[in-house]
A and B are shown apart, each in its own frame.
Chain A
Amino acid sequence: MSEITASHHLAEGTRATTPLLRRLSSLQPVRFLIIGGSIAILLALIAYPLALLAGYSFIDAHGNLTFDTFEKAFARRGMWQATLNSGWLVLFVTVGACALGVPLAWIVARTDAPGKALITLSAGISFVIPTFISVISWIFLAAPNSGYLNRLAVEYLGFSAAPLNIMSFGGLVFIEIVGVYPLVFFAVSAALNNIDASHEQAARVLGAGRLRTTLTVTLPLVRPAILSAVILVMLDALSSFGAPAAIGTMANFSVITTKIYDLLKFPPQFNYAAAVAMPILIVTAISLLIQKYAIRTENFRTLTGKATPDQITRLGRWRWLAGGFCLVVAFGTAILPVGALVLLSLLSSFGAPISLGNLVTKHYGLIFDEDFVARASIIHSMLLALATATVCATLGLVLGWVVERFRFFGREVISFLVMIAYGFPSIAYAVGILMGYVDLFYGTLTLILIAYAGKLLPIAFVLVRNGIQQLSTDLEEAARISGAGWLRSIKDVTFPLVRGAVGIAWVLVFSLSLRELSMSAILAQSDTQVMPTVVLQFIEDGAVELAAALAVIIVAVSLSMLGLIRLFTRKKTAVVS
């Protein structure tokens, strides 16, 4: 009773004395500031650099629209060859990744072959290890003369010449395939698991045989997954930088991304770099459009669940062949490279015989030496990863909320901008960042932070947005009507309920920041080296043992951070219907 009387006095008093205050409160200034600030940051992170990038390549020194820059850029020596190389790389890698990923996915999801768990684990490992690190392993294993596998082949298997050469275009294709096939594998096996058994059972009941069912029902149902994965693989191969830079230097060939990197070496030629990045941009844009319009409409709704016994194909004696295939893949793509990496990091010198006496820790000692560049790079990387993860998780939460909850003109622009950053090749994006912020932040970690945050924001955004999407709006509205302001409703209701998603986003962004190379290579200066750039430097200088030791640290930190995800997913994130 007293409550209500008080409320009346309050309402009346407010009306009589300070109508202005009432008007102001209706604007909800806290919400306005936070959302407005986040959108401003988004524009600064993504829209501004991209606009500059487009501007530089289309507009000449006098401000006129021109295609001259393109002509001049592509008239440079080796540019067409590099473009062609990129094209072949994309083609081979895409075909190879599908040839490896689709059969493996089918074996794991739908057959009784042994060794299925091993494949899932090794695909996970391949996925976590960036290609500039697997390059180190494969140099150790398959360098033309000194590679240990080659020596094994010559000494024990009677080869007259070294059979393997990782420092070649073929070697690059192999390393890229191993790096990206998990995308196909995970997408297709998830899709196969998600097909409700009743779809296939219906076909069987109507008289279709197992093969016919697979071809007419199962395959069409996973086609969207395959297409999405193919597009991701193509974009990944097109914008890959680490392995091409490491191998290209030694094997003396270029792709578009390494050409861009060369153009930015002193003296930097921004407009040519921007122009050369354009083909990547255009292919990316087309691919994303295809994905949006051709695949999304085909994205069938299916129920989730594991394959039922009925869906498992019994392979009979082919079972062991499939199992053998799994074992070979696991060994060749995960066990061997990881083992080689660790071994190399402990070996006294590359080429030394593998014996207990030759195992030393001096490389790690050097890595942590105070006067050596590597130690500073570890600190830089950790700081950057912490900052990037925090910025992305926070921005992801606010922007995810805005897109899901706020009905205002142009909210779709937000998700569009964020997704552009996702599909955008890192190397081109870094060029944009460099052009936009080099005057303000030259040679600082802030410059790198801006690039990391912009490029990794999409991952946090998608994860947190999905979390918010699953929350009924009512839950927040119930808090508002109970008297909580906007910020308080987010703090008390939204955040606790999407904490799991925010935590996962934070960890993923952290791990990905640690291994980011293409943007770091362009943006890092001598005082702002990060772990991946130092690794690349070591490779190019031929100090592969040091590269291996630092790479082991990157992989170890990444894997243990990803282990944290289990913590977030296991924790009781309340079931919300």
Chain B
Amino acid sequence: MRRLLALAVGTATGLFGVSARASDFDERGVLLPDAKAVAFVDFEGDSFDLDTDYVEPPESPGDCKRGSTLVPSPTALSGGQVLHVDLTKFGCADRFRFRGVPAKKASYRATVWLRHGAVDAQLTALYSKESGLTTRYAKLAPTGRATSDGWVELASNELPVDGESLESLYLKVYDFDSVGSELDALELVPSGDYVEEAACSGAFDPVCGDEGFCRYGRCVLGRLHVPPLPHPDVRGQVVDRMRGLFELFFGARKTRTRDLPRALERLESLRSATSAWAFWNGFALAVRELHDWHTRSRGDVQFAGGGGRLNACFIAGVADVTALYWPRDPMYDDVLVSHVGKTASGLAQGDRLVAIDGQHPVAWALGLKAIDWGFWQACDDRVFAEAIERLRELIPAYARTITYFACDAASGACEETPRTVEVATLVSDEGYLTCDNRPAYYLTSGNPGSDHDVGYKFYEGAVAGTAEGEKIRALIWDTLYGSGEPNGYVNSSLKKAYAAFKANARGVILDHRAGNGGTLDGAETATTLMRGPGTALVFRSPIDFARDDGPATEAEGLAIFNAWKSATPYSVGSSSHDPALPVAVLLHRDGSASDFFPYGIKGASPKVRIFGAGPTAGAFSTYYTLDPPGSLAFQLASGDSIGADGSPLLGHGVEPDEVVLQRQSDLVAGRDTMVQRAVDWLRTELKP
């Protein structure tokens, strides 16, 4: 009987990690530190000194001040004092070291109890540069244990620590609000086995095992970046809740009928997960299975391993110079280097990336779904602009080799044989380069900088290479975040530019090729230059009726449109628009409000023409951001938009009036194919 019991306990511990909990409580609710703990800090007496146990930040924003104080508390979990954490500046944190960590290789789990508010907490093992070891940390998150007097247990998963080479092992913490939080009963307990940090190559290198993956040439232990496996008593409830959120609130006609079932299947598999990584990465993968532009899991794990990005940006295009040497993929566009910054590892504008680890770059990027927490996909199945935009960060993190055709701007020629280089030899970015799908700028003055950081700014001016009398002007911008403020920065900037166009331009380019969306009013304002008033669609987002799959027929869609066209319209155009002014709208990677904007002008006038590499993302909804306690968050798209014809729109991007793919020959020569084509069209339509 005794043997059976021991076996049962051992199995439970192995299966559920969290069962190896640290402190416990007696029948009165008095905390009992774990006898195996190598450190127990109750923030009083000899266990802690606020000054000498404080660790200076290894990297600091500069003006951080310690925000923790010791506060007497008769309801302390241990003793009569707690640590009150109240950092005043975001980005700052306090760090307190563990004393007496054994000088040996071991693995530890940290727990601490939190009361009031919320904190971000992590256990960090800091090594000196001379040690050659990578500083590693494990995030703390609630285990589910809570006390009647307000304490909540936070715990990390097991962190391997080389005590011989350790500079410091400490708790890093910051609070969320201006009032602060209390911590007590910090504990460090040996748990698990020491795991050497292994070198690896390629995202799925088997050397990293099932509990991790390869990033930047080092195995990442997944568990360090996710919460503990939920306590077995409530694990089913957590999965039920995840399932409820998906089923009740997620999505629209397309994503609910096609993608949701696969995600729910993935969620069900979590019930039998046996590790924290399997559980939480499984959840994040279920989120990604929802196949939606807004729907993303976000977590500390997406930054694991540090590293940087290539100092080069990629864009979908047509490789007209090298087509003879490497055939075009039947499914995906060619991938070209759009522009580069300094130290681009030999890559140059116009180069053609043909393979990553032997696969087409898009196919390779999509294949990372199982471990890439930054995975980003359009709702429209035909669109891959998001994946291409992210290649510069994915390649150094996950690839072994890239294969590309090198081109030379001086001669205008490209090599006939592709080069294959080891990713490990490439240099990641120095400085900051943004990928905005604009190979070059073309205003006569006032262009964005060489970092391509258009972001939340607006750039307006005359188009270079056009005659003064043609009065062809352009606006370069990517944000539609009007925030419901008609006179706010975004709406005012658009109105000001449009007023100038109506007064002084004969043709206009609206260059919105990294359309990040924003709010509905921003999209509405963007349509006021070129069309009369109308209701383009109604937005029923977030979702109206729980579990609703949206209109199955045109009649159902029309009924929704008619019912809501007064209450929640997307009101486009203006009676003061300029019907004689030709407007060329340039798109490339656009979603959400940046879907609404082109949808609102599509076909509105022969004087408006949309140029794009393909459809927009088709992300016709808003979303919920959900922040569970711990080191992850996720966004869940919710609802749909219904067009005036009764169509549910999500998943169906706006088709350009003219498909224009960037030509490799233009890139090598430093030309922007789409701008060239837009100018050509405007010249045929100039306002008298």
Partners in one complex: no
